[in-house]
Amino acid sequence: MDLSYGAAAEDFRAEVRSFLKEAWQPGERRGRELGDYVRAFRRKGVDQGYLYRSVPKAYGGSQRPVDVIRAQVIREEFARARAPMEVGGNGVNMTVPTLLEKGTEEQKALFIRKTIEGDYIWGQGYSEPGSGSDLASVRTKAELSADGSKWIINGQKIWTSMGGKATHMFMLARTEPDAPKHEGITYLLLDLDQPGITRRPIRQMTGQTGDNTFFEFFFDNAETPVSWQVGERGQGWQVSRTTLKHERASIGSADGLGRQFSKLVELAKDMGRIGDPLVRDRLAEIEGRVLSHRYSSFRLFSCAAAGEDAGPIQLMMKLLLTEIGHEMALLAQDLIGEAGWMDPDAAGGPRGPIKWLDQIMGSLGNSIAGGASNIQRNIIGERGLGLPRDLAMGGER
Amino acid sequence: MRFHLSEEQLAIQDAMRGTLGQVWPMERLHAFADGDADFDADSWAALMALGVGGIALPEGEDGAGLGLLEAALVCEVAGAACAPGPLIGQLVAAMAVAASENGEAKAFLPGLASGECMAALAFGSDLVACARGAHLFLVDDAQGLALVEAGADVSITPHRATDRSRPVSTVSFSRAPRMALFAPDDPHTQRIRDAALILIAADSLGGAQHCTDVSVSYAKEREQFGQPIGRFQGLKHQLAHMALDVEPARALLWYAAYAWDAQLPDATRAAVMAKAHLCEVYTRTTRAAIAAHGGIGYTWEFGLNYWFRRSIANRAWLGSPAQLRARAAELAGW
């Protein structure tokens, strides 16, 4: 075992660091001026081969061979210099890799550059009110127009992140109602700026709402050209499973949990409870799991760097994160205690109970978003441990 | 950067597993548990023939030149098999003696490496596992670390104790001559204590993995209501939960062993955290395994009780999880 990155990586680090010293000097720029500066900076980052490494040059990327160590060094140095990395969100994480693997030449040319430069913001059109964990049961319908040039879409999608800002959507729509459920779905791209689409924000249990949160979308004869269909008609399920294998393993993937744990320790201090043996015991017990998660992320990264399969641990990281988040939320709840929760002035103060209330409720969201916890347990049991599949989910007797 | 096992490290575990599979099947474990001995010469000789005793010793000192990580990998496999013998004591004693300057103690090093000279761990309490067959004791008390040779001055009272795979005795060393290794405040003393914690954690990881593996196998074979019980979501989720407890903890153990080998500043705390956490995982997993097996798991013949018992002993040995968590809190400056 060795947690250093090696001499070649350190040379590369020096190179990235000197680039950043030169190229990232935002100074006092604000607003639009800063926006333009960031855009130009990202272009320089692409020219250096630091950003959009898996995207071909023809579409605005830097087209570099997969190298998770270099990718990690880049992330660390950009973070250290507080320089902006790639544009985040569904577009870069999902649309671009899917198009690179399954898109037509026209689609790649039309969407990839605009997406990585931040002009197109993508919403995910997967979940429906009647289709959550059973995603392949989607009912939003797409039918060909009489002349065969357009898909006409009717139905409803829900839980679209960044729904207020999205300009485009990738969606799963039912196009062959008579086919078995996994074979009747087509993967479509569409422009959200059209009369047949209504969007509405969802107010979450935390009270949060607005452009950056979840939205639902209603489609009433919305349209999209047939040429915006990705993959074959009826093959949308497979398209949506397109593996994302582009330097995604990262050392920092567990940092968020570590930071949250540090805040929990601070909370225990602020509430005057850090000397309480029971509190110390619970903190240390939780930390055992936080560190297990952190070192397992090192393990995943190490396997990715060596091109080896990490095994069942990769199926466990999401559920582990969720469960540790729950434990931290419960301890935070106890630390704040009755007096804290009942205090009419609790909203005040930077570390006040109200901020923790959001975290405590947010931890509940984790057990739903991106694959519900019971589905994660099925995946660990079936794909990780090789247990027989549930008959209702396609298992064979 | 490397934070997963190499082919060589996996091969060490495979060799261990193969040997124990031959020399330590369930029948032998049953016979041993029902007998009076606290040591099994055949399985010990087979393990020592693999060179396990010297695995963490420098190449110049009868060793294989590997680290505590490899020693931990070996203990993991022994834990999975519920193997008898003072393996942890042997490895820790050999490392302590190799690091010391005491010539008298050093004379035992070849024997410790080959296994001909067997060492048990007498740390903290007067209860010692596998004491009757031991030639040497590694003692940790108010005077620091010392090696004590078995003989007339060492009195041993055997017990029929919880852990049937590594029976304990009360041992007293009142007038026995000590070969002093390290003073209490010598940094080596701390390192040796940390190593012992890490190897107990490794034994616990192996045991917990074994309990998960047998439960998964059973769920694939056992049929009720006309289908394998592993298809039922209730049990599937229990098994997933066991795996979710054990698999991530593997990296916690690796980190502790790596931090020890690399002498990182957080090595002691990493050892404390690993021992506390892995011992919790081990008891939880043995309990869950017995529940997952239904009636058969509650029989003596099926044998899960040996792992359950060993998990209790590991938990109590050198500090309970709660005591170690209190120490971790202190070390963090909370």
DSSP line for A24-92: ---TT--HHHHHHHHHHHHHHHHHHT-SSTTS-GGGT-------HHHHHHHHHHHHHTT---S--HHII
d(CA A315, CA A373): 12
Q: Are strands A168-174 and A197-201 parallel, antiparallel or unpaired?
A: unpaired
CB within 8 Å: B243 and A316: yes
- For residue B275, the model assigns a pLDDT of 98
Taking the CA of residue A152 and the nearest CA in chain B, the distance in Å comes to 39
d(CA B75, CA B206): 8
Q: Which two tokens stand for residue A128?
A: 């429906």
Give the count of beta carbons closer than 10 Å to the beta carbon of residue A61: 21
Least confident span in A392-396, B43-47, B124-128, B247-251: A392-396
d(CA A143, CA A231): 16
d(CA A131, CA A125): 11
Burial class (CB within 10 angstroms; exposed 0-12, middle 13-18, buried 19+) of B99? middle
CB within 8 Å: A377 and B240: yes
Topology annotation, domain A252-393: Butyryl-CoA Dehydrogenase, subunit A; domain 3 (1.20.140)
Mind listing the pLDDT tens digit for each residue in B199-211?
A: 999 999 999 999 9
* Contact predicate B258/B331, CB 8 Å: no
d(CA B146, CA B178): 6
Mind listing the pLDDT tens digit for each residue in B277-295?
A: 999 999 999 999 999 999 9
d(CA A385, CA A373): 17
d(CA B17, CA B219): 23
Instruction: Using DSSP, state whether B24 is helix, strand or coil.
Output: coil
Contact of A375 with chain B, judged by CB distance below 8 Å, is answered with no
- Can you give the residue ranges of every domain in chain A? 7-81, 122-235, 252-393
What's the one-letter identity of residue B186?
D
Residues of A in contact with B216 (CB under 8 A): 385-387
Q: Following CA atoms A238, A239, A240, A242 in sequence, which dihedral angle do they give, to the nearest 10 degrees?
A: 90
**A84-87 contacts, C-beta under 8 A, 24 or more apart:** A84/A38, A84/A41, A84/A42, A85/A51, A86/A42, A86/A51, A86/A52, A86/A116, A87/A42, A87/A115, A87/A116, A87/A117, A87/A118
CB within 8 Å: B252 and A298: no
- For residue A367, the model assigns a pLDDT of 87
- Most B CBs within 10 A among A367, A376, A385, hence the mutation to make, goes to A385
- Name the A residues in 307-346 with CB < 8 Å from any B CB: 308, 310, 312-313, 316, 319-320, 323
CATH code for the part of the protein at B187-331 = 1.20.140.10
Percentage of chain B beyond pLDDT 90 is 96
The mean of the pLDDT values for chain B is 96
- Which residues share a beta bridge with B228? B223
Residues of B in contact with A321 (CB under 8 A): none
* Residue B227 predicted with pLDDT over 60: yes
A390 secondary structure, DSSP code? P
Q: Please determine, looking at this structure, whether the domain spanning A122-235 carries the CATH number 1.10.10.10.
A: no
Query: Which segments in chain A show pLDDT lower than 70?
Result: 243-252, 344-352, 395-397
- Most B CBs within 10 A among A4, A291, A373, hence the mutation to make, goes to A291
* Distances, alpha carbon B57 to alpha carbons A358, B112, B113, B188, in Å: 53, 10, 8, 15
Active site residue A247: yes
CB within 8 Å: A374 and B4: no
Does the reported pTM lie above 0.80?
A: yes
d(CA A52, CA A59): 10
CA B42 to chain centre: 19
Mean pLDDT of B136-158: 95
- Can you give the residue ranges of every domain in chain B? 187-331
d(CA A123, CA A286): 35
ipTM above 0.90, yes or no: yes
- For residue A350, the model assigns a pLDDT of 47
Any residues with CB less than 8 A from the CB of A315 and at least 6 apart, and which?
A: A376, A379, A380, A383, A384
Any residues with CB less than 8 A from the CB of A160 and at least 6 apart, and which?
A: A123, A124, A125, A166, A169, A214, A215, A216, A217
Question: Of these residues, A247, A285, A287, A308, which one is catalytic?
Answer: A247
